[in-house]
Amino acid sequence: MRIRFIYYAFSIFLLFSLPAEAGQNIVTVHYPAERAVMEFNLLSISLSLPQDSADLIEIEVNSKIRASIVPRRKFECLTVPLELGINELSIKAKKEDKIVDDVALNVFRRSDLVSKYAKPPAGFEKNYFHMKDHSQCATCHHVLEPTEADNEAINIEAYAAEVSEKKAVVPSESSCYSCHREITSYSFVHGPNFVWSCLTCHDSQAEPKYSIKYPVPELCYKCHVEQKKRRSGKKSYHAPYITEKCGICHNPHASENPCRLDQPIWLLCVACHPDHGDGRHVIAAYFWGTRHRKHPTHGVPDPSRKGHELTCASCHDAHASDSPKFITKYDTRSFDLCMKCHMKNKH
Ligand code: HEC
Ligand code: HEC
Ligand code: HEC
Ligand code: HEC
Ligand code: HEC
Ligand code: HEC
Ligand code: HEC
Ligand code: HEC
């Protein structure tokens, strides 16, 4: 019995010691921590490795290579995109095409849009980077205290005139830029981020450090006063709007879609209303026997809005409206809505 036990114990020991032989603990990952929770799609990675120990670093996220670099310094920093839910990271160090080290890590990207990703699984939690001391970063980055430029006041009314002419703002004075530069590398950048005034929303005195200054949507209404006025006192409010989660649909920083929507409008709406994507509901109420007839909801130009694609937002206001079902401007069950596009088609 005992000999057998020792034998098993020994073979288990062998089994676990094997990978350690292949990977020689070359790479030290400083960030992220195992099982961290993120809100958005960017993850920073910082690692160090002995000089000349590897000639290539490859980073896989859920088995897809998302970054590869030739290490030149002892310390390397990079950013990779995250998918919703669990992201299995594999950081591979290679030398002459052989894997010399492979570090595995899991990170969870949360989302209010997809209910199964709203809460992180057991064991995953937020890991606040700025709550810890990072003296090893400070040798190359300005991490200690933010500057005036990070908190430049934004006047939303004057913004368009002031900023749109200066095409590329060089955020040389931002103390956030050197690490967070990827956050604005999208086609549509939100005003305050475009000028790198990060502290208009993030509080350097808060705990956790750089928490947002006010809860959403109060935060948004600090500047979007007009928006608040226009939408107050409406008869009906869309559930995600009234539950005050602007971030379900809008990214506060930047994205690939106008209004920095997290996804193109159609995908966004269909994520929560999967039965409405084919547009049957548009016609069903109007013509008897058309239950199986579809109406376009995307992929064609919108006759009522030049330069826009037809989407759910051509007929619905995503926030609030005086008519039920958030039909834009017009009443439901009157042909006014239909005429908005179908009369114009004629000329
Ligand atoms: C040896 C100097 C050095 C140290 C130490 C260092 N960095 Fe960097 N870091 C850089 C340089 C240089 C860049 C600019 C990116 C480049 O050109 O490779 C950078 C860029 C970054 C980026 C942006 C990467 C991207 O894809 O845009 C992040 C995030 C970052 N560093 C985080 C950190 C963190 C966190 C630490 C501490 C754990 C740290 N850095 C320590 C030199 C350093
Ligand atoms: C040395 C690099 C570095 C600098 C400089 C830096 N950050 Fe970060 N920050 C990080 C890293 C790494 C994370 C972890 C999240 C990630 O992967 O992007 C982070 C996370 C955050 C978070 C999420 C909360 C947290 O603590 O994890 C906020 C908010 C934030 N940074 C704001 C800022 C602002 C505002 C500035 C400028 C005043 C700034 N950061 C400067 C590296 C840096
Ligand atoms: C319009 C307001 C606003 C501005 C301006 C803003 N942020 Fe944020 N930021 C937010 C909100 C809201 C969150 C989500 C916070 C939360 O849920 O705890 C956030 C979260 C973050 C995070 C955490 C990311 C994650 O995946 O967990 C980082 C990093 C960050 N911001 C960096 C920045 C930097 C750098 C700037 C300046 C370029 C900036 N922010 C400007 C509103 C803003
Ligand atoms: C510090 C001021 C400020 C805060 C806070 C702020 N915004 Fe903005 N927002 C702006 C500016 C400036 C613009 C650009 C206006 C322009 O282009 O005319 C803008 C533009 C927008 C637009 C696009 C408007 C359009 O017509 O294209 C949306 C959507 C938006 N913000 C949503 C939000 C949300 C959601 C929040 C809260 C998370 C928020 N904003 C917080 C200043 C702010
Ligand atoms: C259900 C998704 C959704 C939610 C939640 C949402 N929005 Fe929007 N928002 C949109 C869409 C879609 C558009 C673009 C409409 C269009 O193209 O006509 C938009 C456009 C905007 C605009 C610019 C155009 C306009 O109508 O003024 C602002 C500003 C804005 N949203 C602010 C907010 C604020 C503030 C909140 C939270 C209180 C919020 N949104 C919540 C989907 C949403
Ligand atoms: C995060 C989930 C979510 C997103 C995203 C979302 N909705 Fe909704 N929507 C709801 C909920 C919840 C309700 C209220 C429950 C219901 O009546 O079905 C609702 C109700 C509605 C209604 C009224 C239903 C009724 O019978 O009165 C319309 C119309 C609507 N949404 C359109 C849209 C459009 C258009 C978009 C995209 C701009 C969108 N929704 C995006 C969750 C969402
Ligand atoms: C061409 C105009 C139009 C488009 C495009 C459109 N809708 Fe509608 N939608 C309507 C009308 C009209 C109603 C009201 C039907 C009624 O009163 O029975 C409606 C009703 C709804 C309702 C309430 C439930 C119901 O079936 O009555 C939801 C939810 C909804 N739409 C979601 C969407 C989503 C999501 C999209 C995009 C995929 C979309 N709609 C695209 C016109 C449109
Ligand atoms: C925002 C613009 C818009 C609105 C509002 C709109 N439509 Fe349409 N509709 C279109 C476009 C675009 C097409 C596709 C035309 C084409 O392919 O030439 C279309 C196609 C149709 C079709 C043909 C569908 C098929 O089988 O191919 C019918 C029927 C129709 N619409 C009925 C309606 C009715 C009824 C309403 C009012 C509830 C309405 N539409 C509101 C833009 C709109």
CATH classification of the domain holding 37? 2.60.40.10
Residue 253 located in a structural domain: no
For residue range 78-108, what is the model confidence (pLDDT) as tens digits? 999 999 999 999 999 999 999 999 999 999 9
Separation of CA 311 and ligand 5 centre (Å): 14
| Final residue belonging to a domain, choices 216, 235, 254 | 235
Ligand nearest to the CA of 160: 4
pTM of the model: 0.92
Residue 136 located in a structural domain: no
Residue 255 located in a structural domain: no
Judge if 269 and 230 occupy the same domain. no
166 touches 228 (CB < 8 A): no
The answer to whether the Cα torsion of 108, 84, 71, 58 is positive or negative is positive
Separation of CA 110 and ligand 2 centre (Å): 18
Which residues constitute the domain of residue 287?
A: 264-346
Say what the pLDDT of residue 291 is: 63
Q: Which segments of the chain have a pLDDT < 50? A: 1-3, 5-7, 9-22, 345-347
For residue range 309-320, what is the model confidence (pLDDT) as tens digits? 999 999 999 998
Q: 110: Cβ–Cβ under 8 A, 6 or more apart, which residues? A: 37, 38, 39, 117, 118, 119, 120
Nearest CA to ligand 4 atom 2: 223
Judge if 222 and 268 occupy the same domain. no
Separation of CA 251 and ligand 6 centre (Å): 19
| Final residue belonging to a domain, choices 83, 110, 137 | 110
Q: Strand 56-61 to strand 64-69: parallel, antiparallel, or no bridges (unpaired)?
A: antiparallel
Residue 183 located in a structural domain: yes
Residue 126 located in a structural domain: no
Residue 105 located in a structural domain: yes
Residue 13 located in a structural domain: no
Say what the pLDDT of residue 315 is: 92
Q: How far is CA 305 from CA 312, 313, 318, 337, 341, in A?
A: 13, 11, 16, 13, 9
326 CB burial (10 A radius; 0-12, 13-18, 19+)? buried
Say what the pLDDT of residue 289 is: 60
Count structural domains, the chain: 3
| Final residue belonging to a domain, choices 235, 255, 286 | 235
CA-nearest of 233, 312, 331, 209 to 268 is 312
Say what the pLDDT of residue 169 is: 63
Residue 79 located in a structural domain: yes
CA-nearest of 254, 339, 272, 268 to 298 is 268
